[in-house]
Amino acid sequence: VARCLPSIEMLRLVSSGTEATMTALRLARAFTGRSLIVKCEGCYHGHSDSFLVKAGSGGATFGVPDSAGVPRELSALTVNVPYNDPAALERVLAECGGNVAAMIVEPVAGNMGVVPPAPGYLERLRELTRRHGALLIFDEVITGFRLGRGGAQERYGITPDLTCLGKIIGGGLPVGAVGGRREIMEMLSPLGPVYQAGTLSGNPLAVAAGLYMLDRLDKQPPYDYLESLAARLEAGLRSSLKDAGVEGCVNRVGSLMTLFFTAGPVTDFSSAQRADRGLFGRFFQAMLERGVFLAPSQFEAAFVSAAMSEADIDLALEAGQGALKEAAGL
């Protein structure tokens, strides 16, 4: 993993992506001696208390709990900003930057549907966090090894302080990891005072599967093939929307993709929420009846797999033409 992602000088294996982000948070607070965490509205970083927080409409707001059982006192330590809005982060840091431990972000948002970073957005996050002494944490649970061998950080040329990875490093088995700068990672026990442990952290079965998967990526990199399949699917979906006269847009980065039933553009959580969820639900059912199983939410990303063929993509597009018309009542 460290060979593929040069920003990772040391690595700690855990049991899931949620454990990875939770550990990264604890490390950031310990390393900086600060309490506040900044996240983006609509970005999901697992189900630990500090992340189950949603923002109000518009600009940066201090979070309120988004789940029962999360104390307001804890959620008040999480500040939300809109994705693709670096000015919002700048305002937060200007107001309370001395108490911000870290900004955590999906470099390509995948939990409000796929939303690419605007040109210069990630660069600005790196600049602002560095200027104010806060850490930049990339949650690459979705993008790591999927957008390329070096993840989104390689694709966009950004070096985060910490990186979180999930089950993809175990070939789909339950595993996660947090890694980053040596001086930060050395704060983890037993070298340092930040405690983390788990009986199944880095369990041998998941690690063996992950090592095999990483070796395959070295010997048979799938990324050009994935790009061609995903581009074929994207072009077909756009054509089907146009032919059916259905309002929609397609966001894609590499093999990640979302069809939003809104005119778009979809650039953040607010614009994603304008999508017609009812229409998506009908489209999902119509596709399922035609033998194509999509993620059952407008806000979940679709992933193209190297196990797929062009024939699979064409089959899905053929089903999509009829499903679109049926869902829209045409």
What does the alpha-carbon distance between residue 71 and residue 50 come to, in Å, rounded to a whole number? 9
Is 167 part of the annotated catalytic residue set? Answer: yes
Which candidate in 39, 121, 167, 276 is catalytic?
167
Q: Measuring CA to CA, how many Å separate 65 from each of 80, 120, 171, 217?
A: 12, 31, 33, 40
Rounded Cα distance between 171 and 211, Å, is: 8
Report the distance separating Cα 276 and Cα 268, nearest Å: 16
Task: Evaluate whether 262 touches 249 at the Cβ level (below 8 Å).
Answer: yes
44 is catalytic: yes
R_g (Cα) of the chain, nearest Å:
20
Q: Is 156 a catalytic residue?
A: no
Residue type, 238: R
Angstrom distance (rounded) from CA 130 to CA 31: 14
- Residue 103: what are its φ and ψ, rounded to 5°? -110, 125
| Alpha-carbon torsion, ordered 102, 107, 111, 113, to 10 deg | 150
44, 83, 121, 156: the catalytic one is 44
DSSP state of 294: -
Reported as type and span, the H/E element at residue 257 is strand 256-260
Distance in angstroms (rounded) separating the CA atoms of residues 223 and 256: 12
Query: Which residue in the list 85, 139, 161, 276 is annotated as catalytic?
Result: 139
**What DSSP letter does each residue of 10-69 carry, written as one string?**
EEEEESSHHHHHHHHHHHHHHHHT--EEEEETT----SSGGG-EE--SSS-EE-EESSTT
Q: Give the list of residues 6+ apart from residue 149 with CB closer than 8 angstroms, or none.
A: 4, 217, 218, 221, 223
| Residues annotated catalytic, as ranges | 44, 139, 167
